[in-house]
């Protein structure tokens, strides 16, 4: 399938997740197979335009991740157009607009999900961006603001008219946040009503869920929390789609994934990352060694919150990781939890 002129070799996408889908995580998911596109964490249009180093850091990606979509948020058409130019100049394949974030800090600035309540303004943003860049501009939205304002069907048509190349719809309202269930009927209705590709998002936790949702008429599926729990889910869904049994993942595979993640994060902090784009200006004061290590440990804590949910002893493991102070301590915990049966020497 294609988004504009960008060919995806799988319809399954790593959904953008702030704080989670950094370049290291995306690379590792991509390496497992079945992933047609990765989307960055949301990045501030303001920060991109002003060249703020930490914002640029969020937009980092490596060649290995292509095709790459960078998601931006903001509410001013001119600034969003300028930010899209920055994204294009960085060499990303797609620029995506966040119209789904319900967090008040974002939504109160006419950005994120509040754009859903202003479809005309949202379309102006997309029109300004599509005029400014050649790469495809896409939109990620929710079902609507609340049950009384299910605006996604209208917004989808508007942004298509303004030149958007694809849409992803998370089937919950902003008011729902993450409660209840995603409404895939609304998603399917939108897929029927526009001619650009529509991706559905919400509640694909098992690979079978992805296969089922593909039958709703969408062009593809964005998977968020399911990938955080099981980074092989997209590869497994591809196995199932091809009529093969889903690949089996062992405890050691799961442990190895965390160790690899930690190694990539550490390499990044040391500036050793192969293929890393180093967008961040040299003027940024380097993090102190202790704060680099803390950053890596915090990243592991965040992932482990999702990664070990529902596993025997997972809660105990998370308590350990949450109180760990060093990478070495986290490694030891991983060895004890995932490699206990084989006694692997790390
Ligand atoms: C921790 C977290 C962070 C998220 N951050 C973003 C974001 O930055 N941009 C966005 O469009 N959606 C974001 N989402 C929404 C997801 O991309 C996805 O649409 C939603 O979680 C529903 O899909 P799922 O059930 O597969 O997780 C986030 C979700 C989670 C759980």
pLDDT score, position 285: 59
pLDDT tens, the chain, 346 aa long = 999 999 999 999 999 999 999 999 999 999 999 999 999 999 999 999 999 988 998 999 999 999 999 999 999 999 999 999 999 999 999 999 999 999 888 877 789 999 999 999 999 999 999 999 999 999 999 999 999 999 999 999 999 999 999 999 999 999 999 999 999 999 999 999 999 999 999 999 999 999 999 999 999 999 999 999 999 999 999 999 999 999 999 999 999 999 999 999 999 888 776 555 555 544 455 677 778 899 999 999 999 999 999 899 999 999 999 999 999 999 999 999 999 765 555 5
Distance CA 134, CA 131 (A): 8
| DSSP H helical ranges for the chain | 23-32, 45-50, 53-58, 77-89, 104-107, 119-132, 152-161, 184-193, 207-214, 225-229, 233-241, 251-269, 289-307, 314-323, 327-338
Q: What separation, in Å, do the N-terminal and C-terminal C-alpha atoms of the chain show?
A: 41
Nearest CA to ligand 1 atom 3: 17
Q: d(Cα 158, Cα 156) in Å, to the nearest integer?
A: 5
Is 176 close to ligand 1, i.e. is its CB under 6 Å away? no
Mutate to test the pocket of ligand 1, among 12, 13, 14, 16 (most ligand atoms within 8 A of CB): 16
- How many other CB atoms sit within 10 Å of the CB of residue 163? 17
CA-nearest residue for atom 10, ligand 1, is 16
Q: Kindly report the backbone phi and psi dihedral angles of residue 108, in degrees, each rounded to the nearest multiple of 5, phi listed first.
A: -75, -15
* pLDDT number for residue 341: 64
User: Contact at 8 Å (CB) between 235 and 32?
Assistant: yes
Residue 137 is predicted with a pLDDT of 98
- Nearest C-alpha to atom 5 of ligand 1 is from which residue? 17
From the CA of 17, how far away is ligand 1's center (Å)? 5
Alpha-carbon gap, residue 243 to 263, rounded angstroms: 35
Instruction: State yes or no: is 113 an active-site residue.
Output: no
Q: At what angle do helices 77-89 and 119-132 cross, to 10 degrees?
A: 40
Residue in 172, 179, 246 with CA at minimum distance from that of residue 208:
246
Instruction: Give the pLDDT score at 106.
Output: 86
Domains of the chain with bracketed CATH? 8-241 (3.20.20.70), 251-338 (no CATH)
Q: What pLDDT, on a 0 to 100 scale, did the predictor assign at position 271?
A: 78
In the three-class reduction of DSSP (H, G, I as helix; E, B as strand; rest coil), residue 256 is classed as helix
Measured from the CB, is residue 100 less than 6 Å from ligand 1? Answer: yes
Residue 225, CA distances (Å) to 46, 130, 174 in order: 28, 30, 17
Report how far residue 308's alpha carbon sits from residue 313's, in angstroms, rounded to the nearest whole number.
Answer: 9
Q: Whole-prediction pTM value? A: 0.95
Judge contact between 6 and 220, C-beta under 8 A.
no
Quick one: pLDDT at residue 284? 56
Q: Rounded to whole angstroms, how far apart are CA atoms 157 and 313? A: 47
């Amino acid at each position: 399938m294609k988004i504009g002129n960008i060919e995806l070799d799988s319809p399954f996408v790593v959904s953008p997740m702030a704080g989670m889908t950094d370049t290291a995580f995306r690379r590792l998911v991509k390496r497992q197979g079945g992933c047609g596109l990765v989307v960055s964490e949301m990045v501030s249009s303001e920060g991109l335009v002003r060249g703020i180093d930490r914002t640029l850091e969020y937009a980092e990606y490596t060649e290995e991740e292509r095709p790459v979509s960078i998601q931006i948020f903001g509410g001013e058409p001119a600034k969003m157009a300028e930010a899209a130019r920055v994204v294009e100049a960085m060499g990303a394949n797609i620029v995506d607009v966040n119209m789904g974030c319900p967090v008040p800090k974002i939504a109160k600035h006419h950005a994120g999900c509040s754009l859903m309540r202003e479809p005309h303004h949202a379309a102006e943003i997309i029109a300004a961006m599509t005029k400014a860049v050649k790469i495809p501009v896409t939109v990620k939205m929710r079902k609507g603001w609340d049950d009384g304002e299910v605006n996604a069907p209208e917004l989808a048509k508007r942004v298509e008219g303004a030149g958007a190349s694809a849409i992803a719809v998370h089937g919950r309202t902003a008011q729902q946040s993450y409660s209840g269930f995603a409404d895939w009927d609304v998603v399917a209705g939108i897929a029927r009503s526009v001619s650009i590709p529509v991706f559905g998002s919400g509640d694909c936790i098992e690979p079978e869920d992805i296969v089922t949702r593909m039958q709703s008429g969408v062009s593809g599926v964005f998977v968020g929390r399911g990938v955080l729990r099981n980074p092989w889910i997209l590869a497994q869904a591809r196995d199932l789609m091809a009529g093969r049994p889903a690949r089996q993942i062992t405890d050691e595979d799961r442990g190895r994934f965390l160790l690899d993640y930690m190694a990539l994060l550490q390499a990044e902090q040391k500036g050793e990352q192969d293929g890393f784009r180093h967008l961040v200006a040299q003027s940024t004061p380097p993090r102190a060694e202790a704060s680099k290590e803390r950053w890596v440990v915090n990243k592991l804590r965040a992932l482990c919150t999702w990664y070990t949910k529902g596993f025997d002893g997972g809660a105990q493991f998370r308590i350990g990781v949450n109180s760990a102070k060093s990478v070495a301590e986290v490694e030891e915990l991983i060895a004890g939890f995932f490699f206990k049966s084989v006694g692997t020497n790390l």
